[in-house]
Structure 1
Amino acid sequence: MTPKRSTLSSYLDRFAPPEGFLLLMLSVFVGACTGLASVFFVKLIFAIQDFSYGTISGLLPFLGKWIYLIAPILGGLLVGPLILMAHEAKGHGVPEVMQALILRGGRIRARVAAAKIMASALCIGTGGSAGREGPIIQVGAALGSSVGQVLRLSDERIRNLVACGAAAGIAATFNAPMAGVAFAIEVLMCGLQMRAFGNVVIAAVSAVVVSRAIIGDRFAFQVPAYSLNSPGEIILYLILGLMAALVGIMFMKMLDFSENIFDDWKFPQLFKPAVGSLLLGLLGVAYMNLPDLTFPAGSAAHGSGVVMPIPHMYGAGFPFIQAAIQNHAALWILFILILLKPLATSLTLGSGNSGGVFAPSLFTGAVLGGAMGHLFNHWFPSIANNPGAYALVGMAALFSATARAPLTAMLIVFEMSNDYAMILPLMVAGVTASYFSQWLHPESIYTMKLAKRGVRFVEGRDMDIMQAVKVSEVMRSKPVTVHKDASISEVMALFQETNILGFPVLADDDKLCGIITLQDMHRAQSQPNFSSKNLRVADLAVEDPITVYPDEPIWVAIQKMSPRDLARLPVISRDGSGRLSGIISRSDILRAYDVGIVRKQRGQIVEHQVELRKQKENGYVEFVLQQEDTCNNAMVRDLSLPDTINMVSIKRGGQILIPRGQTVLKEGDVITVYGRIKDINDIKGFLNACQLPAQKP
């Protein structure tokens, strides 16, 4: 069953333009389209905001401050159905792009772009505490991916176009092309080669050109001429970086806690965004009842002749960031918002609403920096006389702490403010925040969601594979062991009997107390005056051997074994008892790589397979036979297949076998069946709980 090729794809196959030229033109196209999408997205947000707070307040003046509760709830009710239509539109978007790059070769469904724009615009426009950068990154990535899929490009080329779209999204939103390119490299870790890097640059420039042509060349913030007053002030910026790391970790933990609460809550997903918006609205109403609040220019909605101020923590919060940078914000408000902005964002995104965490990170950093700038100015007036400068640096520091992207943070502040005078404070605070945050909290705000799904995002595709497999999945859980009081002759006999080169040594309570290898025995026997008469295993065993835990990824075992040239590692329980859980050897690590490859192939196709099942009644489906499957080592004739299912072939060790009644199924077989997809899904005895890793078109 051969899929139809698009007209454009057929044309390109026929005339075969140079690949470099084709990708360059596609980069321009993706960048320009993302620039248009960014402009539309921003204007849509402002239109919804003016309608939600200006027009509705003008038509229903009796609502008063309760509009700050009603508008977010209405937005949440509208977002719910959009999330059900495209679940990738939920949350802040960047983790979904990263997962597509790892598991699906950069393939993202086209509908995600439309759903993300509408859901995020409704959320942010009605007051949701979220940024517009994450959504436009996902929209640009989806555009790039869709172009690559239509033209049937390779995974590598599609990933490049995804990076082009993501960089273009950042570039167009912030008018910051260099920061867009840095984000694609530093956060998405696209591993770009020089030619691919050039494509990303072109896409970012194209997006900015389109954006500037429509809304003009503007900077996100107007920044006074700040500079470093004294070399000693660097110490204060270093302290700001440390504080940004702590606040950034607080932000990430709050968001993670909120996501866990809402994900575990047995409540219809359709209405969860509205519940989060309800809690946000209550927070907003309480905030607007605080005394002596001031609102900077641009922080109000206009509609039906009504000017309605917006709570500072609602939306992206750029007007208040501007006020903090220009030192126009009161100290007590800055301190309150250090807590309220992360809380508002956690309620918004944790409940399933749509938006980004980029702007909330900048906002939280600005209020933190502004607050600390005021304190430093009070304590050290001769050194720190510009609190607004600390707000500017705080933006970069806190984003570095949450995203682990100090280069992107520095560039985006440079380009948004058009001020390069603060490069030293930005470097010190940004790098300090990034390293200190990573030391305390290994996952970034983008990767912690992937980590919960078992997806590890690090540079190097092979290490990605080895991070996704745990030690417990490939270790030998019942290894041959010896007691510490066993005689040397008993151990030598065991070496000869089993042909195993090393044994864990256990104490009376089955606690691991060492490891003994054949090499240890030979080394001892080569010593003068060696006598095994009174020696026990404990006398020759290596005490306190290096160990791993069952729940650690395989790459941890690799990192411990490789530098020391170890052939095996004992696996002990994490409960602190020291009991042996198993042992892992080099051959187990090779098997782990195979498991990781199969798992990666599953991930690359599973989403596409689900979509095909919705569209097609019949089709070919491939199953990978796993060790735990009930039909492992069974004959084909013993399988209870329905009449609507036919087994077509078995791929084993590079050979294609035609299945017959007496054919025995073995672990690792790739079995192709054809039939009604619905029936394939209903087969309970066939491959038991094995997931479906691949499907032929």
Structure 2
Amino acid sequence: MALAVIVGAGAGAGSLVFRWCIQTFTRLLTGHGDYAAAPGTANPHLPWLGPYFVLLTPVIGGLLYGPLVNRFAKEARGHGVPEVMLAVAQRGGRISPKVAVVKTLASALTIGSGGSVGREGPIVQIGSALGSTLGRLLKVTEGRMRLLVACGAAGGIAATFNAPLAGVFFAMELILRTFTAEAFGATVLASVTASVIGRAAFGDSAFLSLPDFHVDHLAQYGLFALLGIAAAIVGVGFARFLYLVEDACDWLWRGPEWLRPAAGGLLLGLVLLALPQMYGVGYPVLQKATEGGYAIGFLLLLMLGKMLATSLTIGIGGSGGVFAPSLFIGAMLGSAYGITVHHLLPGTAGAVGAYALVGMGAVFAGSARAPITAVVILFELTGEYSIILPLMLAIVLATAVSHLLSHGTVYTLKLHRRGIDLEGPARGARLGGQRVGAVMDPLPAPLPASTPLAEAADLLSRSGHGALPVFDGAGNYVGVVTAQAVAEVLAEQPEGAPAEVGQLTEPPAPVTADEPLAHALHTLLSAEGTGLPVLDPARAVPVGWLSHQSALRAVHTAA
């Protein structure tokens, strides 16, 4: 707990330094605190260039951060969160300490010079690197190291966005990818500590200033549901387009990697000249869209422009997050949708800003598939509770539709493209790549579903497996009965216990013979008893038995 507080304080301090660097570089290169608030204006330092100075700022930024990233920390390139997820899942939470310094400078230069990316990816990587460094200095266990990395991520999100709850759920849902009381307690401490530091520096105001919203007609829930489906399509499309542009940049560029951001900066500069609202994170533009300040056509142009500008920034080697761009894209989609339905159903649709807010959360959920984080962070960033029910509805639908449309998310697709599966073994690992069929034991003698309970208890006690497969009278596999289930029934309700074992049978999570052992181990560890039936992938009938002993034999053989 003490370490969680220290990591939270470090992440909070890191967020202060990071935001100061962004503001400093932005003022140096544009003459404005946030150029997106005054798009198309001249740089007061170079008034004779007019708005054309934006052609040069991405090139200058690229010449500075390109060599820095290439020389000191290549993992600082891109949006950061996938690298943290990989470190937690397969590298014991180990992140190089130099990542914090390089990521701070590279991301601040990227955003300050016009890169159309967000702050959350960098601050997650910065906070996580601080947590990992502290863990290595104190030589904590691997489990503690992962938890400290998650604390750093939670603290970074909390301090940067003034969203302590969102920091906790971001860390648990995306970084740790598990929920435990210990993890919740530690990340809450880190998040609260970082948030206190952030609020002391930046104040306690909400991310967006929005009027009160109310759902006055039940029909509005149907409109929000349709928006959730549309947002899922846009969110998945954004993730795919991001990596399509990155592939195109990889294919086109043949020069040294350190020069790539500067050369690509010429293309980004052209986009900024045509659409200066894309400069940097773009929060002022997002705010104006939620207030209904743009027409439908321009909103759609801004949405597509953000997809292009963000993808190009990442593709040329820039450093920054994709969370803020997904919010921006969602706000443009939601505003355009809200204006449309307001024209079609003026007495039913309600406020346009409500659709912008819901669109923000739904597009993030569609691209990242983190529904809890999406709901909590949109509530905290805006302080709007009145829209929580439509927000939850749209986010859940967006997440479900995204599952149907794509296997990966905007974060995991980056790893999948490198041949990395977070659920599988780490590259080079000797254990985990084997197929279950190669390490499984023979199937134990199954029990007929009609076996009397007392007889089944005797057979289970002598089997040594703690669980046995059960077949019905027609020879069909129906599930597994565990010794624990039989013992509990006989001890707690001997008079009302089922007569036959089939009534206590439950189908466990399926494990197939062609499944990698690394995947099956997750299922085995959460199963009751000491083993699971292994199913034929074609006919879904048991062909073997995976036990803890067979998994350990695989470890011994691999070693």
Deviation at 1:565, TM superposition (A): 4.6
Structure-2 residue corresponding to 1:38 = 15
1:385-404 equivalence runs, <5 A: 385-404=350-369
Q: Summarize deviations over 1:104-159 as a string: whole Å, max 9, x none.
A: 11011100000000000000011101000110011000011100100000011111
Distance 1:668 1:202, change over 3 A: closer
Contact 2:150-2:176 at 8 Å conserved across structures: no
Matched residue type, 2:25: I
Determine which of 167, 189, 192 is the counterpart of 1:202. Answer: 189
Query: What is the TM-score normalised by the length of structure 2?
Result: 0.77
Deviation at 1:338, TM superposition (A): 1.7
Contact 1:454-1:468 at 8 Å conserved across structures: no
Deviation at 1:455, TM superposition (A): 2.5
Determine which of 245, 250, 270 is the counterpart of 1:282. Answer: 270
Distance 1:410 1:269, change over 3 A: same
Contact 2:532-2:546 at 8 Å conserved across structures: no
Give, in whole Å, the separation in 2 of the partners of 1:214 and 1:38. Answer: 10
Give, in whole Å, the separation in 2 of the partners of 1:113 and 1:239. Answer: 41
Q: Summarize deviations over 1:626-675 as a string: whole Å, max 9, x none.
A: xxxxxxxxxxxxxxxxxxxxxxxxxxx6xxxxxxxxxxxxx856xxxxxx
Deviation at 1:315, TM superposition (A): 1.1
Contact 2:116-2:306 at 8 Å conserved across structures: yes
Deviation at 1:425, TM superposition (A): 0.6
- Is structure 2 residue 49 aligned with structure 1 residue 63? yes
Structure-1 residue corresponding to 2:27 = 50
Distance 1:142 1:421, change over 3 A: same
Contact 1:127-1:314 at 8 Å conserved across structures: yes
Matched residue type, 2:75: E
Structure 2: gaps of 5 or more residues: 33-41, 440-474, 476-509
- For structure 1, which segment, 171-180 or 588-597, has the greater mean C-alpha deviation from structure 2 after superposition? 588-597
Deviation at 1:585, TM superposition (A): 7.4
Determine which of 309, 330, 344 is the counterpart of 1:365. Answer: 330
Query: What is the TM-score normalised by the length of structure 1?
Result: 0.62
| Equivalent position SS for 2:2 | helix
Determine which of 464, 469, 481 is the counterpart of 2:433. Answer: 469
Matched residue type, 2:172: I
Matched residue type, 1:410: V
Distance 1:278 1:235, change over 3 A: same
Matched residue type, 2:394: A
Distance 1:570 1:558, change over 3 A: farther
Q: Summarize deviations over 1:213-250 as a string: whole Å, max 9, x none.
A: 12221211101101112111001001100110111111
Deviation at 1:357, TM superposition (A): 0.4
Deviation at 1:57, TM superposition (A): 2.7
Structure-2 residue corresponding to 1:325 = 290
- Is structure 2 residue 152 aligned with structure 1 residue 187? no
Structure-1 residue corresponding to 2:375 = 410
- Is structure 2 residue 39 aligned with structure 1 residue 75? no
Higher strand share: 1
| Equivalent position SS for 2:373 | helix
| Larger Rg over CA atoms | 1
Give, in whole Å, the separation in 2 of the partners of 1:267 and 1:475. Answer: 46
Q: Summarize deviations over 1:422-477 as a string: whole Å, max 9, x none.
A: 0111001111101101111111111111222333235x999xx9997375x9879x
Contact 1:396-1:413 at 8 Å conserved across structures: yes
| Equivalent position SS for 1:445 | coil
| Equivalent position SS for 2:255 | coil
Matched residue type, 2:400: Y
- Is structure 2 residue 191 aligned with structure 1 residue 214? no
Structure 1: gaps of 5 or more residues: 1-23, 288-310, 477-522, 524-545, 572-583, 598-652, 654-666, 670-697
Deviation at 1:345, TM superposition (A): 0.5
* Count of matched residue pairs: 471
Deviation at 1:586, TM superposition (A): 5.2
| Equivalent position SS for 1:58 | coil
- Higher relative CO (Cα under 8 Å, sequence separation at least 6) belongs to 2
Deviation at 1:275, TM superposition (A): 3.1
Distance 1:232 1:173, change over 3 A: same
Contact 1:474-1:589 at 8 Å conserved across structures: no
Structure-2 residue corresponding to 1:88 = 75
Structure-2 residue corresponding to 1:159 = 146
Contact 2:367-2:410 at 8 Å conserved across structures: yes
Deviation at 1:190, TM superposition (A): 4.3
Contact 2:371-2:395 at 8 Å conserved across structures: yes
Give, in whole Å, the separation in 2 of the partners of 1:153 and 1:425. Answer: 44
Structure-2 residue corresponding to 1:337 = 302
Matched residue type, 2:265: S
- Is structure 2 residue 110 aligned with structure 1 residue 123? yes
Distance 1:547 1:146, change over 3 A: closer
Deviation at 1:271, TM superposition (A): 1.6
1:455-534 equivalence runs, <5 A: 455-458=420-423, 469=433
- Is structure 2 residue 237 aligned with structure 1 residue 273? no
Give, in whole Å, the separation in 2 of the partners of 1:175 and 1:229. Answer: 30
Structure-2 residue corresponding to 1:142 = 129
Q: Summarize deviations over 1:281-329 as a string: whole Å, max 9, x none.
A: 1111123xxxxxxxxxxxxxxxxxxxxxxx2122111111111122222
Give, in whole Å, the separation in 1 of the partners of 2:231 and 2:431. Answer: 29
Deviation at 1:260, TM superposition (A): 2.3
- Identical positions, percent: 44
- Is structure 2 residue 298 aligned with structure 1 residue 312? no
Distance 1:587 1:208, change over 3 A: same
Structure-2 residue corresponding to 1:17 = none
Contact 2:228-2:397 at 8 Å conserved across structures: yes
- Is structure 2 residue 368 aligned with structure 1 residue 382? no
The Cα RMSD (Å) is 3.4
- Is structure 2 residue 340 aligned with structure 1 residue 353? no
Contact 1:466-1:592 at 8 Å conserved across structures: no
Contact 2:215-2:350 at 8 Å conserved across structures: no
Give, in whole Å, the separation in 2 of the partners of 1:259 and 1:273. Answer: 12
Give, in whole Å, the separation in 2 of the partners of 1:451 and 1:371. Answer: 33
Give, in whole Å, the separation in 2 of the partners of 1:587 and 1:452. Answer: 33
Matched residue type, 1:469: G
Give, in whole Å, the separation in 2 of the partners of 1:115 and 1:387. Answer: 41
Distance 1:394 1:439, change over 3 A: same
Matched residue type, 2:325: P
